[in-house]
Amino acid sequence: MISDGLCQRYTCVELADIFKNYGYEFGRQYKLPESYTSIMNLILNCRTAALGKHVERCDSCGYNNISYNSCRNRHCPKCQYRAREKWIEARESELLPVSYYHIVFTIPGLLNRLVLINKRTLYNILFKSASETLLSLGRDPKHLGGDIGIIAVLHTWGQTLMDHPHLHCIVPGGGLSEDGKKWKSSKKSKFNQFFIHVNVISDLFKKKFLRYLKKAYSNNELQFCDSIASLQYRNSFKNFLNKLYEKKWVTYCKHPFHGAKQVIEYLGGYTHRVAISNNRIKRIEEGKVVFDYKDYRDSKRKEMRLSPVEFIRRFMFHILPEGFFKIRYYGILSSRKKKVTLKICIGILTRSTNNQPVDGTTTPKTREWVCPKCNTGNMIAYPIIYCKAPG
């Protein structure tokens, strides 16, 4: 147990420790859905005897190691490394020999409360409006005139764990022509610019998002309570929309990536990240959870102190709806198309580079945990089966 005495200080604290010692108090103050309570319990019991054990055996030297089972929940900071590595290896075979761009779609903070109450509906609108914006502008001959590809990853948090929904999109610098015979690149890409100006992207994204938001309201797909209860009334919702139309929506486009390695490393940092990792939680001191964050105003690392209940409350902002996909693929990278379209794109781009090998297009070889003893074999997991004694 971790005491919260005023003069005591506790280091090496994990998210599970905070749930264990302060989860009851949080549950007493805030009524949680059963699914949220289940996630808290999984994180609390991750890699403990409560979830059982398994044997990890090296397939080369036979070295054995007994480990506790992980919870495998996507919100758990202990369970994302292996999933991330497998995802990265799978994506390596889909990289094209072109520059890649990073576009971030952010919605105004005025929407945050509505999003928290309607996560599934509003997150889906965010994905739909952002992807349609890029795909439609990419197909427009004024900008590119080709079918582009998108990998979109949802993030819902800022550095201080407050709600900050935004979408990270990785897009190849070009697209496949309508007849499927040419790879179309933008002249602007030569000057380290995306083929669509960021202001054009922002304006169309705002229009699409608010159009889908109005549709959701008309179809009674939104819920309103507490501080936004008044939005259920038509006049109030209309005024709310007018404020959103008046705001400038921020879309950010970073400089392009160069080479497969840089793309993969960057993607790996975003795809399986959780709201806060255990290494950012520094200690519990004088009854406060202390964690570090990056202040983007001066680009410095700083520490924030929150009561344990407030810390848990902020973490709960970022629990995703059950079965919700936070990574999605569109255009030539969509699951339905990519097996064919990527083969076509690689063929075209390889011919245009005098048949040079394409970096990052080989079939990935998944490597499990490396044996700590021989450093050559893979550690394979086997469940421990307990047999009831006869009689």
pLDDT tens-digit series, residues 184-243: 987 666 556 678 889 999 999 999 999 999 999 999 999 999 899 999 999 999 999 999
Point out the least confidently predicted range of 94-108, 226-240, 300-314, 374-388.
374-388
Task: Give residue 286's region: left, alpha or beta (phi > 0; psi -120 to 50).
Answer: left
Confidence of residue 354 (pLDDT cuts 50, 70, 90): low
CA 175, CA 209: separation in Å to the nearest integer?
24
Structure tokens at 320: 């995703």
Stretch 71-78: mean pLDDT: 90
Stretch 371-384: mean pLDDT: 83
Give the pLDDT score at 263: 79
Stretch 340-353: mean pLDDT: 87
> Is the confidence at residue 83, as pLDDT, over 90?
no
Question: CB under 8 Å to 325, separation ≥6 — which residues?
Answer: none
Confidence of residue 365 (pLDDT cuts 50, 70, 90): very low
Residue 172 CB neighbour total at 10 angstroms: 27
CA distances from 175 to 121, 190, 332 (A): 30, 15, 8
- The residue with greater pLDDT, 358 or 178, is 178
Give the pLDDT score at 7: 42
> Is the confidence at residue 259, as pLDDT, over 70?
no
Contact 107, 213 (CB under 8 A): no
> Is the confidence at residue 391, as pLDDT, over 50?
no
One-character DSSP codes across 55-68: EEEETTT--EEEEE
Instruction: From 126, 101, 130, select the one nearest 115 (Cα to Cα).
Output: 126
Point out the least confidently predicted range of 17-21, 219-223, 274-278, 380-384.
380-384
Given CA atoms 162, 167, 170, 174 in this order, what sign does their dihedral have?
negative
Instruction: From 8, 162, 10, 161, select the one nearest 77 (Cα to Cα).
Output: 161
Which stretches does DSSP call E strand in the chain? 9-11, 53-58, 64-68, 100-106, 149-157, 163-172, 175-176, 183-184, 251-253, 281-285, 288-295, 300-306, 327-331, 369-370, 378-383
Question: Distance between alpha carbon 120 and the CA centroid of its chain, in Å?
Answer: 15
